[in-house]
Structures are given as structure tokens and as C-alpha cells.
Structure 1
Amino acid sequence: MVEHTGESKNERLTRNVNELLQELRVAQAGVQILFGFLLTVVFTDEFHEASGFEKAVHLSAVVLTVSSTVLLTAPAAWHRLLFRTGAREQILTVGNRSVLAGLGCLAAAITTTVTLIGKVVYGPIAMIVLGVVSASLFVVMWFLVPRRIGREMDDDTA
């Protein structure tokens, strides 16, 4: 069956999988940089003098970064393992959910890291302000703006 774009269903699925994998490359770079930073921090003298709260926040950021890594790389692994099975549609469906969850974990990991930096450098008030500002930026730019764009497109086609 050929759709209105001139692509067959298989061509569309192939293009969509390729687009998903390209998008993951962008997100993965941010995860790798953050993870490297978080790993090096624990080997500093200052980290050993950090409070239990600061160490717990750091560990939370590490766990969120690991979760993000797993969720963002899973669709690439699935594609590689299943590429000859005709499971592209399932990879796209489940992969989209995995990527959204991975982006949520990445946003939380970055926000947690920024709050920790705010706490260590300027204290608890800066920690709260930076955490709220960071989380708000992610929610607005990654989730609310796309929803609004989608609604506007729906309104245009109605």
C-alpha cells in the first residue's frame, strides 16, 4: 500500500526508524558528557568532604543518567537485534516510549546535577531556584511547546 507521501509502508517505517536513531545520537551526546562529569566528581578530595545529602543528590543524578542511557540506547539495540525480523513498527512504537522516558530521565539528571552545583557553590536557596528554573525549562521546551505545536497543527487541519 502506498500512502499519500508516495512511500510504501515499509519505506515509511524505514525512514521513521532512521529518524529515531538520528535523534538518539543528539540526546546521547548530552548523556555521555553528563555521565563523564558525574563519574569524575567522586574521585575528587572535595567530594569526600561533601555532606551525606550532597552525596545522595549526586548518586541520584548518576542513577538518572544511567537510566537515561539505557532508555535512549535501547531502540538502537533493538533495531540491531531485530532488524531482519520485520519488527520495525513495534520498534518504533516501543522505541518512542523508551526515548520519551529517557529524555525525562535526562532532564531530571541534568536538573539534579544543576541543583547539586547550586547547593555546593551557593547554598540551599540557589539549589532550589536553579532546580525549579532548570526543571521548568525542560518541561516547557521539551514537552509543553511540542504539545502546543501539535494542537496548532490539529487546528489548522480541522
Structure 2
Amino acid sequence: MDVDHPELDQQWNAAARSETEAQRLDRNWSSLLQELRVTQTGVQLLTGFLLTLPFQDRFAALSPGLHVAYLATVACSLTATVLLVAPVGMHRLLFRRHKLRPLVSAAHRFAFCGLLLLGAALTGVAVVVFGTVVGENAGVLAGAVAAATMLATWVAYPLWMRHLHG
């Protein structure tokens, strides 16, 4: 669904797929749910793992900088979890209310923001793990590489493809 130009998306789908708006919304909702199934499991496992770390003996020995990185990582992971699960709760409250258009639009935005925060959490994990095992400089470098890789593959490349293929 082209959130920036929904009228163009609707025209293209009507011509290319012979879809009604309701069929397009159903397809977009199903597609989004498939994406959320993949990300929800991963972000929930990551969040659960992160929540166990303070209870490990070695956690107290981390530097103040790594404690801050850890807390920022947990905040990103928790918020990503909330945003990636939110469409399910929204669907339950809007079920049979004929609100699929705003649901798909809001869920798309929540999923995108959730993915960005998941990327930030994964970056933080790289910082904390490499910072703990090798040293803080290595942690910062690992975090930068992780962030650059995710930005390149999750944002820059898809935007380039969107631009290239119109």
C-alpha cells in the first residue's frame, strides 16, 4: 500500500489486479500480518533475553557506559515489542467495525516504527555484547556496523528499489 499516495495505489490495484478497495485492504492486512509474525517472535525473544541480563553475576561489572547502552537497548526493544504487537490489539478493538482502512494505515506506521526501534535494539545488543567481551571501542564499532547494515538493507536499498522501479 502506498501510504504516501493511496489514490495512485488504489488506481494501480484496480487496473493491474482487478481488485476492489476492500480486496486490496484485505490483501494488505494479510501481508502485514505475515510480516508481523516474523518480527514479533524475534523482538519478543530479544526482549526476554535482555530482561534476564541484570540478574547475571557479570552484569554488575559492566562500565557505566555499557549500563546506559543496555538500558537504551531495553527501552528500544520494549517499545518495538509494543509497536509490533499493537496492530493485533487494534484489530481486536476494531473487529467488525468496518475500520480496515484506518487499521491498515495505522498498523503500517506502527510496524515501520517498530522495525526502526528493533534495529536500534539490535544495534544496542551489538554494543553491549562486543563492549563486554572485547571492550567499549569494539562495542561502538560493532554497533556502528550493525546500524549501518540495517539502515542499508532495511531502509536505503528498499528506497532505492522504490525509486528505481517507480
Q: Check whether TM > 0.5.
A: yes
TM-score (norm 1): 0.91
Shift of 1:149: 0.8
Where 1:86 maps in the other structure, the secondary structure is: coil
Counterpart among 8, 24, 43 of residue 55 in structure 2 = 43
**2:66 matched to which residue of 1?**
54
**2:119 matched to which residue of 1?**
107
In the aligned structure 2, how far is the partner of 1:130 from the partner of 1:48? 22
Counterpart among 154, 157, 160 of residue 145 in structure 1 = 157
Shift of 1:62: 0.8
CA deviations on 1:5-47 (whole Å, 9 max, x unpaired) are 1222111111111111111011112102211211121111111
> What count of residue pairs does the alignment treat as equivalent?
154
CA deviations on 1:95-139 (whole Å, 9 max, x unpaired) are 111111100100000100111111111112201210110000010
Matched, 1:78 2:85: no
Provide the identity percentage: 36
Give, as a single letter, the amino acid of the residue that structure 1 aligns with 2:86: A
Change (3 A) 1:129 1:61: same
In the aligned structure 2, how far is the partner of 1:26 from the partner of 1:54? 29
**1:96 matched to which residue of 2?**
108
- Runs of at least 5 residues in structure 1 that lack an aligned partner in the other structure: none
Give, as a single letter, the amino acid of the residue that structure 1 aligns with 2:14: E
Where 2:165 maps in the other structure, the secondary structure is: helix
- Runs of at least 5 residues in structure 2 that lack an aligned partner in the other structure: 1-9
In the aligned structure 2, how far is the partner of 1:51 from the partner of 1:126? 14
In the aligned structure 2, how far is the partner of 1:117 from the partner of 1:124? 9
Matched, 1:34 2:84: no
In the aligned structure 2, how far is the partner of 1:144 from the partner of 1:100? 14
TM-score (norm 2): 0.87
Matched, 1:125 2:137: yes
Shift of 1:85: 1.1
In the aligned structure 2, how far is the partner of 1:81 from the partner of 1:23? 21
**2:76 matched to which residue of 1?**
64
